[in-house]
């Protein structure tokens, strides 16, 4: 399992459009609305958001049984959680839906962008990272 954690992943921001930008306070591009010197993130955001890129390690990819485990874990959290397959350039799907998860058609080595938004977003991402 490998993953790179980021609070404001530019790739994810591109994939998920304006909503993601707003939630994560996307910065690091020329269009950042934040003036110099401003913190990238508010200290206590009303709606916590967290994203991470994980790499699928299972030789059989993300299949029915491993997908089941992902949905089981994701369903324990209040946060809304999405995943996009960066390797296939898919749009983000609901990680609490087994059928949407399977739409990612994630093979071994594919990079998935996981994004959680909600009060327990941090814990959700921590828990999910261990599954890939």
Partner 1 sequence: MIGLVIVSHSAKLAAGVHELAAQMAGGQVAIGQAGGLSDDGETLGTDASRILSAIDEVWCDDGVLLLMDLGSAVMSAEMALEMLPEHRRKNCLLSNAPLVEGAIVAALHASLGEPLQAVNAVAEAALSVPKLAGAG
**C-beta separation of 1 from 129 below 8 A:** yes
Give which of 69, 56, 53 is closest to 12, Cα–Cα.
53
Pick the stretch among 5-13, 29-37, 46-54, 67-75 that binds partner 1 (CB under 8 A). Answer: 67-75
Q: Which is nearer to partner 1, 7 or 66 (CB)?
A: 66
104 binds partner 1 (CB under 8 A): yes
63 binds partner 1 (CB under 8 A): no
**Contact map string, positions 5 to 44, toward partner 1, x by CB under 8 A:** ----------------------------------------
Q: Which residues pair with 79 in a beta bridge?
A: none
Q: Which is nearer to partner 1, 38 or 99 (CB)?
A: 99
3 state DSSP class of 45: coil
What is the rounded distance in angstroms from the CA atom of residue 33 to the CA atom of residue 102?
A: 36
Least distance (Å) from partner 1 to the CB of residue 98?
Answer: 6
Beta-sheet strand order (sheet of 49-55): 3-6, 49-55, 111-117, 80-85, 93-94
Cα-trace Rg, the chain:
15
Least distance (Å) from partner 1 to the CB of residue 76?
Answer: 9
* Interacting residue ranges for partner 1, rule: CB under 8 A: 64-65, 68, 71-72, 75, 85, 88, 90, 97-100, 103-105
């Amino acid at each position: 399992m490998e993953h790179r954690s980021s609070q404001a992943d530019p790739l994810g921001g591109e994939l998920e459009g304006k909503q993601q930008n707003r939630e994560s306070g996307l910065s690091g591009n020329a269009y950042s609305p934040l003036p110099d010197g401003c913190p990238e993130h508010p200290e206590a955001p009303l709606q916590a958001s967290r994203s991470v890129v994980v790499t699928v390690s299972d030789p059989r990819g993300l299949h029915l049984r491993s997908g089941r485990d992902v949905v089981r874990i994701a369903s324990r959290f209040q946060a809304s959680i999405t995943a996009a397959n960066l390797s296939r350039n898919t749009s983000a799907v609901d990680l609490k839906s087994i059928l949407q998860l399977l739409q990612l058609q994630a093979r071994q080595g594919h990079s998935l962008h996981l994004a959680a938004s909600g009060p327990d977003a941090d814990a959700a991402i921590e828990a999910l990272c261990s599954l890939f």
